[in-house]
Amino acid sequence: MIQNKCLGTVLIVGETVDGRLSAGSRDLGNQASRLAGQFNGQAVGVLTGHDIEQVARSWSKTAGMPVIVLDHAQCRYPNPPLTASGVGALADECSPLAVCFPHNMRACQAAATMAWRIKAPCITAVDAILKESDYFVLKRAVFGGKLRESVSVGHVPMVLTIMPGLFSPSVSLEVPDHSPSVETRLLADTNHRFIPQGINRRKDTDQALERAQVVVSAGRGLKGPEYKGLLDAAAGMFKNAAVGGSRGACDLGWLPHSLQIGETGRTVSPALYLACGISGATQHLAGMRESRTVVAVNTDPKAAICNLSHYAVIDDLTVFLPVLRERYDRMRNKGDEV
């Protein structure tokens, strides 16, 4: 049955963390049918974890694809070596066109290990896929987003890690009605010496950023820490708002590293994301792409974030933000609804 399911398919590999689907896996699932379409194949989900039947059913339903669960007690927390051997065995069995993981550190480890195992090319951090006559062109940002690289691959299967939001979130995904289809396979006991014991959440990060409906975020365009008050003042205009930043601003010490948003930082999906003085590097977008409305404040109309945002204010943030706050205060003092 799996054999038939896998023929001409693209394996979409998700992970669970203590019985819950990770955010990256949810995002990848949402893109599954379009991703498989790029390869002219069908998406089949593969989910690792332990006792995750219900989660797998829900993923199968929302992503509109059948899901194969690879179950093992040692997969309660992400386990790259075990994931690599389980997904590798599945790939040996059913020769998929491609195997796609979400792009994060754990998945990169699993992807690279399994690619070596099945002798397939492994391309990480893919943010665009183009089909040429008999090969694929995979695109990604390199050197901290300063350059873009195109990799041509004609080998099948290929193993990829996919950046969040490969397909623009503004494009509505037509996921056909799909009744959940889940098949569970117990992974054989192995001699892997990597046995994850649990996950300790950092104590110095509260969840305010993830829960915020409005995120006011700043990058190197902030010019210096003395302007941080402008961000707090802008955030103060909203009921449930928090301040975040790009790695550029955090590396310079203008904002604490715990507030960094992006691939190596936190992931937010607010109703409004106000990106002030942020260029829009792929690694930053990875952490805020799911925002419902993005407003960029930037002096450079050609900055990537201006293309991606719903609204762009072309101005110096140290000029614009005080004016915004002043107008807000004036309206409040007049008793106008704000």
Ligand X SMILES: Cc1cc2nc3c(=O)[nH]c(=O)nc-3n(C[C@H](O)[C@H](O)[C@H](O)COP(=O)(O)OP(=O)(O)OC[C@H]3O[C@@H](n4cnc5c(N)ncnc54)[C@H](O)[C@@H]3O)c2cc1C
Rule CB under 6 A: is residue 244 a binding residue for ligand X?
no
Helices 80-94 and 105-118, packing angle to 10 deg: 40
Answer for the pair 245, 279: CB distance below 8 angstroms, yes or no.
no
Candidates 57-65, 83-91, 109-117, 295-303; binding stretch for ligand X (CB under 6 A) = 295-303
Q: Does 277 bind ligand X (CB under 6 A)?
A: yes
Contacting ligand X (CB under 6 A), which of 14, 80, 164, 262?
262
Distance (Å, whole) CA 77 – CA 123: 24
Q: How far apart are CA 10 and CA 17, in angstroms?
A: 23
Among 260, 267, 269, 291, binds ligand X (CB under 6 A): 260
**Residues 201 to 230: which contact ligand X by CB under 6 A?**
219-221, 223
Closer CB to ligand X, 164 or 219, in the complex:
219
What letter would DSSP give residue 260? B
Which range, of 39-47, 157-165, 291-299, 328-336, touches ligand X by CB under 6 A? Answer: 291-299
CB 230 within 8 A of CB 322: yes
- Using CA atoms, how far residue 6 sits from 55, 97, 98, 161, in Å, is 21, 9, 11, 19
Task: Pick between residue 190 and residue 264 the one whose CB is nearest to ligand X.
Answer: 264
Q: How many CB atoms lie within 10 A of CB 211?
A: 11
Give the pairing of strands 293-298 and 272-276: parallel
Burial of residue 266 (number of CB atoms within 10 Å: 0-12, 13-18, 19+): middle
Least Å distance, CB 276 to ligand X, is 6
Phi, psi for 307 (deg, rounded to 5): -70, -35
Q: Which is nearer to ligand X, 110 or 274 (CB)?
A: 274
Among 19, 73, 137, 144, binds ligand X (CB under 6 A): 144
User: Residue 287 corresponds to which tokens in the numbers above?
Assistant: 């952490």
**Considering the complex, what minimum distance in angstroms separates the CB of residue 227 from ligand X?**
9
Residue 102 engages ligand X in binding (rule: CB under 6 A): no
**For residues 11 and 305, which CB has a smaller minimum distance to ligand X in the complex?**
305
**Residues between 297 and 326 with contacts to ligand X, criterion CB under 6 A:** 297-300, 303, 316-318
Selected from 32, 94, 118, 249, the binder of ligand X by CB under 6 A is: 249
Which position among 163, 284, 291, 324 is part of the footprint of ligand X (CB under 6 A)?
Answer: 284
- CA nearest neighbour of 121 among 81, 94, 157: 157
**Cα atoms found within 13 Å of the Cα of residue 325, Cβ hemisphere only:** 16
Cis bond leading into 157, ω under 30°? yes
CB of 278 to ligand X, least distance (A): 4
**Total interface residues for ligand X by CB under 6 A:** 30
Please report whether residue 283 would count as binding ligand X according to CB under 6 A.
Answer: yes
Q: Is 19 in the site for ligand X (CB under 6 A)?
A: no
Calpha distance 44→29 (Å, rounded): 10
Residue from 80, 145, 157, 169 touching ligand X (CB under 6 A): that is: 145
Q: Which residues contact 78 (CB under 8 A, 6 or more apart)?
A: 15, 17, 22, 48, 106, 196
Alpha carbon distance 174, 64 (integer Å) = 10
| Span of 12-20, 101-109, 186-194, 245-253 interacting with ligand X by CB under 6 A | 245-253
Q: Please report whether residue 247 would count as binding ligand X according to CB under 6 A.
A: yes
Q: Which residue has the tokens 């593969």?
A: 46
Stretch that binds ligand X, among 23-31, 56-64, 263-271, 322-330 (CB under 6 A): 263-271
Task: Give me the least distance between CB of 286 and ligand X, in Å please.
Answer: 7
Contacts with ligand X by CB under 6 A lie at: 144-145, 219-221, 223, 246-249, 260, 262-265, 277-279, 281, 283-284, 287, 297-300, 303, 316-318
